[in-house]
Amino acid sequence: PCSGVAMAVKPTLVKEGVPWSGVSANPKITGSIGSGGKGKPPKYMFHVTPNGYFSGMTMGKFIMTKPNAKKIAIVAHTNDWARGYCDPAKNYIESQGAEVVLDTAMERGSTDATAQVLQIKSKGVDGVLGCLYQPELVILLKAAHKYKLNTPIIGALGADFGQVVQQVGNAKAVNGVFFQGHLYKDKIGSPALEWGKQILLKYLTKDELPKTGDPTHFYYFGLFNGIGVVEGFRRAGRDLTRDTYIKAIETLRNFDNNISGGSVTITAEQHVGISDMYFNGLDKDGNEVIFSSWGKPLH
């Protein structure tokens, strides 16, 4: 489930001691000291993916590898999910001597981003972080192009990269402009991820798959979870209890799940397994490129 559902069920899961693994971003779900939370993590809840804290940190790190990046703007929803990304990003940016000159809201359900884009343009920023869900991110990108913002926009993981590009529907609005965290070891459609594509095509129903084309970025996200959960079962062995399962999960050290850009490490003190990721964008010809840092392709 996404963050809202996960936060709603967390009190029951904690009370009953039911193991939970998910892909929800809100750092309040499994975060502890060092991953956006306070104290120790909830005993039976864990992520085999990054949470919003680490995803936000990497957004900040990525924009700060852009040469001469000094002034950054943030556009975000006013909920815990969005702040879970943008607050860590903001803290990192400021720790590097740059300034967040604008931190403005764009509420869910917004149908226009003119005000936000004109605010950003007036500040002369070097980059924009968009901690937004997919519909609002699409609207922001369209408005940025309309008003000739000419500034890179880095999206949080509340949107599917491929779907955003399709929905914006204008190469000039996204090529060399739109970037987003990329969780995988290579780009979607690459030979390295072909095995994942075949699993999705085999087990998802026609209604669950895209109406046209191959599975896009979000589809692969669930594979992280499945692989991590099964690895916990494998390590726990046949004498399985809730406690032996969690102890097994806490033995993951640099675990290679054959799909993510980063390896998985979970300990008793840290229940968020991945802390880093790549970024993807489009070159001037519209080809997807995976970056390890600004202007530095993975391949």
pLDDT score for 3: 86
pLDDT tens digits for range 147-174:
999 999 999 999 999 999 999 999 999 9
The predicted model gives 131-137 an average pLDDT of 98
- At residue 56 the predicted structure's pLDDT band, cuts being 50, 70 and 90, is very high
- At residue 131 the predicted structure's pLDDT band, cuts being 50, 70 and 90, is very high
Give percent above pLDDT 70 in the chain: 100
Q: What is the pTM of this model?
A: 0.93
pLDDT score for 273: 95
Around 169, how many Cα atoms within 13 Å sit in the side-chain half-sphere?
A: 2
The residue behind tokens 């519909």 is 135
CA angle 92, 85, 98 (to 5 degrees): 25
Tell me the CATH number at 124: 3.40.50.2300
pLDDT score for 24: 87
In a domain, 253, yes or no: no
In a domain, 2, yes or no: no
Residue 79 has pLDDT above 90, yes or no: yes
Three-class secondary structure of residue 221 per DSSP: helix
Cβ neighbours of residue 71 closer than 8 Å, sequence gap 6 or more: 98, 99, 101, 123, 124, 125, 126
- At residue 1 the predicted structure's pLDDT band, cuts being 50, 70 and 90, is low
Return phi, psi of residue 56, to 5°. -65, -40
Average pLDDT over the chain, rounded to whole? 95
pLDDT tens digits for range 253-277:
999 999 999 899 999 999 999 999 9
In a domain, 135, yes or no: yes
The predicted model gives 289-297 an average pLDDT of 97
In a domain, 299, yes or no: no
In a domain, 180, yes or no: yes
Residue 2 has pLDDT above 90, yes or no: no
How many domains does the chain fold into? 1
pLDDT score for 23: 87
Residue 285 has pLDDT above 70, yes or no: yes
pLDDT score for 270: 97
In a domain, 122, yes or no: yes
According to the 3-state scheme, what is the secondary structure of 35-86?
CCCCCCCCCCEEECCCCHHHHHHHHHHHHHCCCCCCEEEEEECCCHHHHHHH
In a domain, 113, yes or no: yes
Structural domain containing residue 113:
56-187+277-287
Q: Name the packing angle between helices 134-146 and 161-168 (round to 10°).
A: 40
Give percent above pLDDT 90 in the chain: 93
Residue 121 has pLDDT above 90, yes or no: yes
pLDDT score for 22: 87
pLDDT score for 226: 92
In a domain, 3, yes or no: no
Residue 59 has pLDDT above 90, yes or no: yes
- At residue 4 the predicted structure's pLDDT band, cuts being 50, 70 and 90, is confident
pLDDT tens digits for range 170-203:
999 999 999 999 999 999 999 999 999 999 999 9
Positive or negative, the CA dihedral 38, 43, 44, 49 is positive
Q: Which of 120, 128, 123, 122 is nearest to 66 (CA)?
A: 128
- At residue 50 the predicted structure's pLDDT band, cuts being 50, 70 and 90, is very high
